[in-house]
Amino acid sequence: MADRATLEDLVRLQGERVRALKQQKASAEQIEEEVAKLLKLKAQLGPDEGKQKFVLKTPKGTRDYSPRQMAVREKVFDVIISCFKRHGAEVIDTPVFELKETLTGKYGEDSKLIYDLKDQGGELLSLRYDLTVPFARYLAMNKLTNIKRYHIAKVYRRDNPAMTRGRYREFYQCDFDIAGQFDPMIPDAECLKIMCEILSSLQIGDFLVKVNDRRILDGTFAVCGVPDSKFRTICSSVDKLDKVSWEEVKSEMVGEKGLAPEVADRIGDYVQQHGGVSLVEQLLQDPKLSQNKQALEGLGDLKLLFEYLTLFGIADKISFDLSLARGLDYYTGVIYEAVLLQPPAQALKEKVRTTETQVLVASAQKKLLEERLKLISELWDAGIKAELLYKKNPKLLNQLQYCEEAGIPLVAIIGEQELKDGVIKLRSVASREEVDVRREDLVEEIKRRTSQPLCIC
């Protein structure tokens, strides 16, 4: 039997013969005979096992975002950035990858989730895991001691999406930091105020912000009898209490991390408590915690924090939760995170605008492409967001239907009579009312009619 390469050549030659016969308009019988030979050769060739079928898909733990989803994201980012700027923050950016040694040792048990890149010319590099360590590197490199900054960018985690459903390998983080030497808890209170402002503005439902302090956690571990060497690993176990029961957390501490059962029980007595400033005051009187310097400092600062939160009018949104741990090694003081008090609302099926186009430049008759191009150029130069259909002679009905589908509020219609009269017919898509506007007044009329912010959500 001929080898595969020979068969492929025979199939190619036979295919060319069949095509030639068809071009020559040979008899049907002759063509059928040669086609049968071609099919026989293809059957002998069989499938190429070396060529696997290529499936178009995104890598695990990543996804595409449609124009509709991006429109919503941009609206959310606008709300967040507006709040950051209202509080006087500057914006920075850093490389998507860092020197591996910059990231090494900063994330505790999560260090295994860092994406390492292949060596390119001697530098060992890793994709950024978060935006905090790059920010610290930025401060040190530039010898900055005071800055209030925000940074919104993608970060990367080498999670196994099949094992941890709902986790992404690529996602956005939104960081706001106040770096410098300040009196205690004033910057922390402002950060919590910012968090509440943003969540309220997004209108995603009732929420609660949990707060704790790593000094309180470390002091708690110390008075409960946790060895210093196990503080970080036990901390990562406690951090799972928002997802699993205390029994499961205790089992991990004892079975996997070698903690004595009685020590785990003592930890459980503390970390299952939550409340407001009254709980802070109660723990300040705790016979064990009150004797630990770290815990005492943390509790004192939390009491001061609640005073500032009351002045900011958000104390009712804050809960002191001793189970809040955060596993990363760089947390040393106040820590906090927000949780929704009810399941997330289902996405509305209402239409979302994916563009901000204010007007479509249309024509009522044929052979008016040049006039449309001249008019839309004038509008663009004046700062108007405008579109036109990429056809020489589009039907007016098709142009109007496009506006309705895309949510474009106005149509500037050029017609032969309008050109003679020096006017443009401006049509409201919603009301279908039309008015003639002098060409020199068109820009101002469009701006007047679209002066209200465009809603895209």
HSE of 149, CA atoms in CB hemisphere, 13 A: 19
Q: Any known ligand binding at 452?
A: no
Predicted confidence at residue 14, as pLDDT, reads: 87
At residue 124, does pLDDT exceed 60? yes
Of residues 396 and 165, which shows the higher confidence score? 396
Helices 261-271, 231-238: axis angle to 10 degrees equals: 50
CATH 2.40.50.140 fits 4-45, yes or no: no
Predicted confidence at residue 7, as pLDDT, reads: 81
Predicted confidence at residue 164, as pLDDT, reads: 56
At residue 103, does pLDDT exceed 50? yes
Mean pLDDT, to the nearest integer, of 224-228? 92
Mean pLDDT, to the nearest integer, of 179-202? 97
Q: Any known ligand binding at 330?
A: yes
Least confident of 116-130, 142-156, 386-400: 116-130
Mean pLDDT, to the nearest integer, of 207-215? 95
What CATH architecture is 208-343? 2-Layer Sandwich (3.30)
Say what percent of the chain tops pLDDT 90. 71
Predicted confidence at residue 455, as pLDDT, reads: 43
pLDDT band at 24 (very low <50, low <70, confident <90, very high): confident
Of residues 395 and 326, which shows the higher confidence score? 395
* Cα–Cα distances in angstroms (integers) from residue 438 to residues 162, 372, 412, in the given order: 62, 16, 11
Of residues 195 and 48, which shows the higher confidence score? 195
Domain-by-domain residue ranges, the chain?
A: 4-45, 62-181, 208-343, 359-451
Mean pLDDT, to the nearest integer, of 121-138? 92
Predicted confidence at residue 342, as pLDDT, reads: 84
- How many residues does this entry show for the chain? 457
At residue 253, does pLDDT exceed 90? yes
Beta bridge partners of 102: none
At residue 454, does pLDDT exceed 70? no
Report which of 407, 408, 367, 410 is spatially closest to residue 391, judged by C-alpha positions.
367
Predicted confidence at residue 457, as pLDDT, reads: 37
Could you tell me how far CA 421 lies from the centroid of its own chain? 51
Q: Does the predicted TM-score (pTM) go above 0.85?
A: no
Q: Any known ligand binding at 331?
A: yes
Predicted confidence at residue 272, as pLDDT, reads: 92
DSSP sequence for 4-38: HHHHHHHHHHHHHHHHHHHHTT--HHHHHHHHHHH
DSSP sequence for 332-397: -SEEEEEEESSPPPPPP-S--------EEEEESSSS-HHHHHHHHHHHHHTT--EE--S-SS--HH
Q: Any known ligand binding at 157?
A: yes
Q: Any known ligand binding at 9?
A: no
Q: Any known ligand binding at 427?
A: no
> CATH class for domain 62-181?
alpha beta
Q: Any known ligand binding at 3?
A: no
Of residues 49 and 323, which shows the higher confidence score? 323
**DSSP classification of residue 123:** B
Say what percent of the chain tops pLDDT 70. 92
Asked if residues 358 and 386 have their Cβ atoms less than 8 Å apart, the reply is: yes
Helix (H, G, I), strand (E, B) or coil at 446: helix
At residue 122, does pLDDT exceed 90? no
Cα(131)–Cα(153) distance, integer angstroms = 8
pLDDT band at 456 (very low <50, low <70, confident <90, very high): very low
Give the tens place of pLDDT for each residue, 52-84: 677 899 998 899 999 999 999 999 999 999 999
What CATH architecture is 359-451? 3-Layer(aba) Sandwich (3.40)
**Token pair belonging to 296:** 């005492």
Q: Any known ligand binding at 336?
A: no
Mean pLDDT, to the nearest integer, of 430-450? 96
Of residues 285 and 167, which shows the higher confidence score? 285
Predicted confidence at residue 329, as pLDDT, reads: 67
Report which of 176, 340, 332, 159 is spatially closest to residue 242, judged by C-alpha positions.
340
Fold equal for 62-181 and 208-343: yes
Mean pLDDT, to the nearest integer, of 43-52? 68
Q: Any known ligand binding at 390?
A: no
